[in-house]
């Protein structure tokens, strides 16, 4: 976000109870995560069309305005088939 607001931080240690399928994420993650080897870190610069698009997205503590460009720092720790 242009004002530097952080709307999500998964900087805590990974939880043993969390898992997800790539298809559950925004399109930028679907593409980006599949290109990353296990143990790698990346910064994903996501234009609004590959993120949440023209929809207002409501989070637990902040809303993401429509047409927002996003930046994510991600680390791929494990792939479970």
The string of pLDDT tens digits covering residues 15-26 is: 665 566 777 788
Number of domains in the chain: 1
More confident residue, 41 or 73: 41
* Helix-then-strand count for the chain, H and E: 1, 4
Quick one: residue 67, left, alpha or beta (phi over 0 = left, psi -120 to 50 = alpha)? left
Q: Considering the domain boundaries, does residue 9 fall inside one?
A: no
Prediction pTM value: 0.68
Going by the DSSP 8-state scheme, the letter that residue 49 receives in this structure is G
Structural domain span for residue 61: 22-75
Q: Considering the domain boundaries, does residue 3 fall inside one?
A: no
Q: Strands, DSSP E only, in 22-67?
A: 41-46, 57-58, 63-64
Q: Considering the domain boundaries, does residue 37 fall inside one?
A: yes
Q: Considering the domain boundaries, does residue 59 fall inside one?
A: yes
* Residue 46 bridge partners (DSSP): 70
Q: What is the pLDDT of residues 13-72, one digit of tens each?
A: 556 655 667 777 889 988 998 899 999 999 999 999 998 889 888 876 778 889 989 888
Q: What is the largest CA-CA distance in the chain?
A: 38
């Amino acid at each position: 976000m242009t004002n530097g607001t952080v709307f999500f931080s998964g900087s805590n240690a990974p939880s043993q109870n969390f898992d997800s399928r790539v298809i559950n994420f925004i399109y930028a993650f679907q593409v980006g995560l599949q290109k990353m080897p296990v143990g790698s870190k990346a910064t994903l610069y996501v234009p609004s069309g590959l993120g949440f698009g023209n929809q207002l997205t409501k989070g637990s503590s902040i809303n993401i305005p429509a047409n927002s460009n996003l930046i994510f720092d991600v680390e791929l720790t494990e792939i479970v088939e």
